[in-house]
Structures are given as structure tokens and as C-alpha cells.
Amino acid sequence: MRQRAPEPARPAVTPSYDTSFETLPGFEELRLIRATGEALGIGNPFFRAHEGRAGAVSRIEGREVINFASYDYLGLNGHPDVRRGAQAAMELYGTSVSASRLVAGERPIHRELEARLASLHGADDAVVFVSGHAANVTTIGSLVGADDVVFHDALIHNSVIVGAELAGAARRSFPHNDLDALEDMLIHERGSHRRALIVVEGLYSMDGDAPDLSRLVVLKERFGAWLMVDEAHSIGVLGAHGHGIAEQAGLDPARIDIWMGTLSKSLASCGGYIAGPQPLIDFLKVTAPGFVYSVGLPPAAAGAALAALDVMGEDTGRVAALQRNARHFLATAQAAGLSTGTAEGHAIAPVMVGDSLKAVLLSERMLARGVNVLPIIHPAVPHKSARLRFFITADHDQEQLDDTVRILVEELDESTRLLAALGFAEG
Ligand code: PMP
């Protein structure tokens, strides 16, 4: 056996890198929020465990509560057909496809699902990814680069921002739904980049309002930009058949360059997708790292989403029930004097609280009264715009919605009184 050469002497070094996780940005803010919550005896509203299927009602800490924290807008999670769709796909293909589709992970069910998603959006084709977040990051990361610019709504989902930043593209955020400001930016930036991508959501998950799609199309056509619409919260929610914002706006979906959606909300599954013109889909399938170098969608997830699309197509009563419930909740909340910001009565309704601590306290008090609704606090929303966010589903009934508004009004007053008694100035 050959002897290894002796290790050369290396100069002594004093470690100079910061290896503490607790000095990472945001950690101190997290610690302060926890400490204040503990001092006030308020539990952590996040990571609450649901002990079964979480729909319009759910079981938390052994108790059945009315649930407003599920994106299962159409109540299809656990629908017998959807469960059967997942099971049949799993029986046929197993629990995983174990590889990227490009090499050995392709199954007929993937293309079946993509054809259905493409037709939902009136697009040439579609491609599915293992999550909605991954779909945005990898698609935007592949489409734009250092020579390009991304314009996005100030309330756009994190995955869009991460995608634009990883791509090294210039990023311009316009105030929420302010298309005059977008137009000014487009004028100002004209000619300074190779490609421009405008990204909006079909329905905003923080405020529950939709953009003016017709005007966006006019703008993108006038300036020669791509328009990408993230329909995570608008599929199953907007339009008479739940086909999203183009159906609601009465626009030809082919005028939008890039449709993005997720399988995890109305479609009761897991995964994300892009639908659009054939060259776009062909390009993503050979270049987007989150597709090329990542596993194909699990068969059960594809089977569930396909079955959910079937149920949604056959039973538009669910979409109508959701829309009726959403309008009813908003009207009842507003009539009770609650502040619902810019919500338009489409499945997502924030109730503005202002102070973050108060929103957390209120969420805890609502749970004690049998209503699960989560607080949204800084940094997810700007300072002083903390809120409780209600996700309405087709399966809620009007009595549940009315009871919730009544309890909320009582608990809002009580939380204000409690915090004042404890000497906490609302910030
Ligand atoms: N886009 C938007 C607008 C979202 O709200 C979400 C998730 N809440 C996503 C993308 C990511 O989707 P997924 O949870 O399927 O990864």
C-alpha cells in the first residue's frame, strides 16, 4: 500500500464567519413577537394542527370549529371522486415517478392533466411542476435575465419576487392595482431593457381584490411586454364556470401570454402549472431547472387534480355556492361596521385590525369561540395593516357566516379593551 504524503503545515486561523442562526435577519423580530405573546398569555396562531380534513369545518385541539383558513374553495378536498382519482392513479403508477420527467418520470397522466389545464385557459399547452411556488420561481427565472425587467404588483406573491431576483432581472413594483403607476413606469423604462414581463394575480390573496385585466392587456400590447397572470386564488373562484379572471372579465384568454396556477387550492391536490403558447411550454420543458432537474408530479396528485377538474366542470353549483357565500360574508361584515379594505366579495375577505398584536390576540379569542381564522401581520403586510383573513368556501353555510361576523364584532371590541387595560398602545 502506498504511504500518504504528510499533510503540509497550514497557518492557524481564527474563525471569522458568523455561524449563529439567531443573528439571521428577522430572527430578532420573531423572538420579540414570541416574547410579547408569551407575556400576554397568547398562543402561537401559526402551525395550528388540523386533526382531519380541513374544509369549512375542521377539528383543532379535539374540538370542531368553523374554519376560514383553508384554500379548498370548492370543498373538493376529500370529495369521493377526487379521492378515487388519486387512488386509481396511485394503484396504476405507484406513489412516486421517482425521476425527472425528462429522463424516466413521464407518465400518460401528466400529459392528460396538462391537456385539461391548457383547455381550462384556452391555451395551446401546459406544463406541471411539483409546486406552485416552484412553477413561478423556475418559470420567471428561465424567461428573464440581467437584460430584462419585471414589473409586478406590490402585493404579488413571494414566488414571483424570488424568481425575478434569482434571474438577476431589474424589478419594479407598482402600488397595488395602480395601473396608472404601472403605465408611468412602462413609459419611463421604455427601451432600457430587452424584454419586459408584467406579473399580476387573478385575485390577490391578502386583499381579496382583482386587477383590471382588460386594461393590463391594452398596456402590455401597447408596450410589447409579456403579461403573466397567477391564478392561484382565482381558478374555481372567478367566472361562472370557475375558469378564472379571463372568464370573469369576458376576455379572450389567448391575449394573455402566460397563465400560472396551482393545483393546491380549488383543485384539491399539490403542484403548480404554466399554460400558454406552444413555444413557451416547449421552452420551459427543456430549460426550466425546476422541471428539468426535479421529479415529475406524483401520480396521486395528478389523479386528484384531474378528477377535481372533472367535478368542477360537471357541477358549476359549487362555483355558484362559493360566489354566493363570498358576497354574503362581505355584505354582512360591512353591514356590521367591519373594515374589509378593498375586498370585492370573491372568496377572500380581510377584516382590518391594524395592530399586529391585536390581530394575534383576536385570532386566539376567535378560536376559543369556535372560529379558526388566521392573523396576517407584518412583514407579510405593511406595518399597521394587520388583519384577520377569511377564506370562504362553497361548503360554508350562511348561518356559519352570520355567527362568525357576530362573534368577530364582539371579540374585536373585547380585544381593544383588553389591550388597553394591559397598557399596550396599539401600533
Ligand atoms: N401564487 C400565489 C398567488 C399563492 O398564493 C401561492 C400559495 N399560497 C402560490 C403561488 C404557491 O402555490 P403552492 O402553495 O401551490 O406552492
Atom of ligand 1 at shortest range from CA of 131: 16
Close Cβ partners of 46 (under 8 Å, ≥ 6 residues apart)? 374
| pLDDT, mean of residues 299-318 | 96
Of 1-15, 143-157, 231-245, 411-425, least confident by mean pLDDT is 1-15
Residue 230 near ligand 1, beta carbon < 6 Å: yes
**What is the per-residue pLDDT across 137-186, written as a single tens digit (0 to 9) for each?**
999 999 999 999 999 999 999 999 999 999 999 999 999 999 999 999 99
Position 425 scores a pLDDT of 65
C-alpha cell at 358: 391585536
In angstroms, the CA 148 to CA 133 distance is: 21
Q: How many Å lie between the centroid of ligand 1 and the Cα of residue 336?
A: 31
Residue 234 near ligand 1, beta carbon < 6 Å: no
**What is the per-residue pLDDT across 13-55, written as a single tens digit (0 to 9) for each?**
998 999 999 999 878 877 887 787 787 778 788 889 999 999 9
**What is the per-residue pLDDT across 65-86, written as a single tens digit (0 to 9) for each?**
999 999 999 999 999 999 999 9
In angstroms, the CA 283 to CA 321 distance is: 39
CB 66 within 8 A of CB 370: yes
Provide the pLDDT confidence category of residue 405 given band limits of 50, 70 and 90: very high
Residue 262 near ligand 1, beta carbon < 6 Å: yes
> Which residue's CA is minimally distant from atom 4 of ligand 1?
232
Atom of ligand 1 at shortest range from CA of 134: 16
Q: How many Å lie between the centroid of ligand 1 and the Cα of residue 262?
A: 6
Provide the pLDDT confidence category of residue 412 given band limits of 50, 70 and 90: very high
Position 351 scores a pLDDT of 98
**What is the per-residue pLDDT across 349-366, written as a single tens digit (0 to 9) for each?**
999 999 988 999 999 999
Residue 157 near ligand 1, beta carbon < 6 Å: yes
Most ligand 1 atoms within 8 A of CB, residue of 73, 264, 273 to mutate: 264
Angle at 252 between CA 246 and CA 253, to 5 degrees: 55
CB 330 within 8 A of CB 340: yes
| pLDDT, mean of residues 100-128 | 98
Provide the pLDDT confidence category of residue 244 given band limits of 50, 70 and 90: very high
Position 368 scores a pLDDT of 96
Please report, for the chain, how many H helices and E strands are present, in that order.
14, 13
Domains with residue ranges and CATH for the chain: 40-69+316-421 (3.90.1150.10), 80-314 (3.40.640.10)
Position 382 scores a pLDDT of 83
Provide the pLDDT confidence category of residue 2 given band limits of 50, 70 and 90: low
pLDDT of 383 > 80? The answer is yes
Most ligand 1 atoms within 8 A of CB, residue of 77, 156, 157, 237 to mutate: 157
Residue 133 near ligand 1, beta carbon < 6 Å: yes
Position 427 scores a pLDDT of 56
Most ligand 1 atoms within 8 A of CB, residue of 73, 128, 133 to mutate: 133
Atom of ligand 1 at shortest range from CA of 204: 3
CB 189 within 8 A of CB 166: no
Position 1 scores a pLDDT of 57
Residue 264 near ligand 1, beta carbon < 6 Å: yes
Position 73 scores a pLDDT of 98
Residue 232 near ligand 1, beta carbon < 6 Å: yes
Q: Strand 57-60 to strand 258-262: parallel, antiparallel, or no bridges (unpaired)?
A: unpaired
> Which residue's CA is minimally distant from atom 14 of ligand 1?
132
Position 38 scores a pLDDT of 81
> Which residue's CA is minimally distant from atom 15 of ligand 1?
132
Position 4 scores a pLDDT of 76
Atom of ligand 1 at shortest range from CA of 156: 3
Q: Please provide the average confidence, as pLDDT, over all residues in the chain.
A: 95
Atom of ligand 1 at shortest range from CA of 205: 5
Residue 272 near ligand 1, beta carbon < 6 Å: yes
